[in-house]
């Protein structure tokens, strides 16, 4: 008699907890944590002048914000 797991991690094939699977996560905790760390490596939080902070996930947006800012005492 073999046990067949239906909730297998899409990355490593290990078993995913039922509660985690029900929330829509298709990876185990270890693989999900590794993917989240990889994704966060490209994030940057930028303070905007006279405004709030903005989360930048695209480098071209960061370059556009930097070039449009009129800084310095000139």
- The answer to pTM > 0.75 is no
The yes-or-no verdict on residue 50 having pLDDT over 60 is: yes
Contacts by residues 52-61 (CB-CB < 8 Å, ≥ 24 positions apart): none
Give the C-alpha separation, 20 to 22, whole Å: 5
Q: What's the mean pLDDT when you consider all of the chain?
A: 81
d(Cα 12, Cα 67) in Å, to the nearest integer? 43
Residue 47: the pLDDT is 85
**pLDDT tens, position by position, 9-37:** 999 999 999 999 999 999 999 999 999 99
- How high is the pLDDT of residue 51? 80
Which residue spans within the chain are E strands per DSSP? 44-47, 53-56
- How far apart CA 9 and CA 17 sit, in angstroms, is 10
């Amino acid at each position: 008699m073999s046990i067949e797991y239906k909730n297998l991690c899409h990355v490593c094939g290990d078993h995913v907890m039922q509660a985690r699977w029900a929330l829509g996560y298709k990876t185990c905790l270890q693989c999900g944590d590794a993917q989240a760390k990889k994704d966060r490596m490209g994030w940057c939080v930028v303070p905007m002048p006279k405004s709030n902070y903005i989360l930048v996930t695209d480098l071209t947006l960061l370059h556009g914000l930097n070039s449009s800012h009129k800084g310095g005492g000139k």
